[in-house]
Structure 1
Amino acid sequence: MTRTEFFALIRQSLADPETGAQHLMALNPAMATRWMLLAASVLGSVVLLYLLPVLTGEVSMLPSPFAFAGTQAAMNLLVIALITHVGRAFGGTGNFADAVWLVGWMQLITAGLLIAQIVVMLVLPMANVIVAIASIAVSIWLLVGFICALHGFKSRITVMVAGLMVFLLSSFVIAMVLLFFGFSPAEVSNV
């Protein structure tokens, strides 16, 4: 893939995630390439998230970068598994390999949005909230479109509502499992 094709595919993914996802899946890269994209995107995001606190001297407030990277990797794998298996349970036709590829691509675009957010934070801090909300909206737009393309679903609204329900249910289950094993949420002090 040339640089021009790469940026054209990013633009297409942002403008029409379903068509972009179909073109991405048609590339049909090797499984190792899919994993490398996901790993590079996750690690790039972790580095970017640590960049601003390191520059401002607020490193002590951050968790260990290795623990954070591991958590991000685990969360991405959970999302990929949920996208694959819940989608198939609802009659979807997608597979795990394509889910890895699409989530890796989405994380790559999200890392680009994170770069934009860091630049805005440094140049115009008051606009940071607007850019953060726009980044979340773009991420949801991409995820819903990619799931529709992956599984052959037609209704973006149904996918978005089902995704929200799966998110809430899985968050509850994860919280209960963590509590069962003795992990409790950090206490908030000086409230």
Structure 2
Amino acid sequence: MTADDLTFEALMARIVRTLRDPIGEARALLAENPPYQARVLGLLTVVAISAAIGTVFQLLIQVLAKTDDPGGAMAIYFAPVQLVVLIVMAFMMFFMGQRFGGTGRFEDALLLVVWMQFILVVGQGVLTLAMIFFPVAASIFTLVLVGLMFWLLTYFTAALHGFDNFVATGLGVVLTFFGTVIFFGMILGMILGALGIAPVAVAP
């Protein structure tokens, strides 16, 4: 990957190719085999951009809702959480795929997760603009982004491990995703319980 591949036009063209042929583009990206440091830098970059757009999004909601709640502009502080989430996602893509006979490596899973997150960050930017001009359509677009995430995860996992049964791969992705969420939710609940922090009841 050269500097020319990182221009706006080149990145947008690659996004279009990914949406048209996620398997082919994932394989092309893996074939480029960028150094591990570049993958980590890409991870930090997409997290930073996502946090910045998220902050703008929260401020926009704050303005549209006409509220002075200062918590609306705190999305940037969730960047470390998102960083951990993406690393865990890459690890689960690698680990669970190998349990079912896949041959993918963690560093390649990380590369594909970074690229997937970049595509979602672009979508996040479009969503922020939609909130201004088409607030109703923004809700629908949010669901589209969630669907896009699972769709890309399915095909990227298949490309990473050499799977050819996309239905089974997609089912595995969904079950792994929700299983991981439940597992970490239980761990978080136990930690909060040990610290004496209980959920706050909200009056109806």
Tell me what 1:34 maps to: 39
Tell me what 2:16 maps to: 11
Unmatched runs of 5 consecutive residues or more in structure 1: none
Tell me what 1:155 maps to: 165
Identify if the C-alpha distance between structure 1 residues 174 and 155 changes in structure 2 by more than 3 Å, giving closer, same or farther: same
Per-residue deviation at 1:58?
5.3
**Hey, what's the Cα distance between the residues in 2 that align with 1:39 and 1:188?**
36
Tell me what 2:141 maps to: 131
Tell me what 1:69 maps to: 79
Higher relative contact order (CA 8 A, sep 6+): 1
**Hey, what's the Cα distance between the residues in 2 that align with 1:81 and 1:17?**
20
Paired residues for 1:1-191 under 5 Å: 1=2, 2=4, 3=7, 4-55=9-60, 56=63, 60-62=70-72, 64-65=74-75, 67-182=77-192, 186-187=199-200, 189-191=202-204
**Hey, what's the Cα distance between the residues in 1 that align with 2:192 and 2:85?**
20
Per-residue deviation at 1:12?
1.1
Local SS of the residue matching 1:181: helix
Local SS of the residue matching 1:25: helix
Local SS of the residue matching 2:47: helix
TM-score by length of 1: 0.91
Q: Deviations over 1:2-27 (max 9, x none)?
A: 23543332111111111110011111
Q: Which amino acid aligns with 1:164?
A: V
Per-residue deviation at 1:72?
0.5
Query: RMSD in angstroms over aligned alpha carbons?
Result: 2.0
Per-residue deviation at 1:95?
0.3
Does structure 1 conserve the Cα–Cα contact (< 8 Å) formed by 2:39 and 2:114?
Answer: yes
Q: Deviations over 1:152-172 (max 9, x none)?
A: 011111111111111222222
Identify if the C-alpha distance between structure 1 residues 72 and 100 changes in structure 2 by more than 3 Å, giving closer, same or farther: same
Q: Which amino acid aligns with 2:161?
A: H
Q: Which amino acid aligns with 2:132?
A: L
Q: Deviations over 1:93-119 (max 9, x none)?
A: 100111111111111110000011111
Does structure 2 conserve the Cα–Cα contact (< 8 Å) formed by 1:17 and 1:141?
Answer: no
Q: Deviations over 1:103-153 (max 9, x none)?
A: 111111100000111111101111111211111122221111111100101
Does structure 2 conserve the Cα–Cα contact (< 8 Å) formed by 1:53 and 1:59?
Answer: no
**Hey, what's the Cα distance between the residues in 2 that align with 1:11 and 1:127?**
22
**Hey, what's the Cα distance between the residues in 2 that align with 1:33 and 1:141?**
25
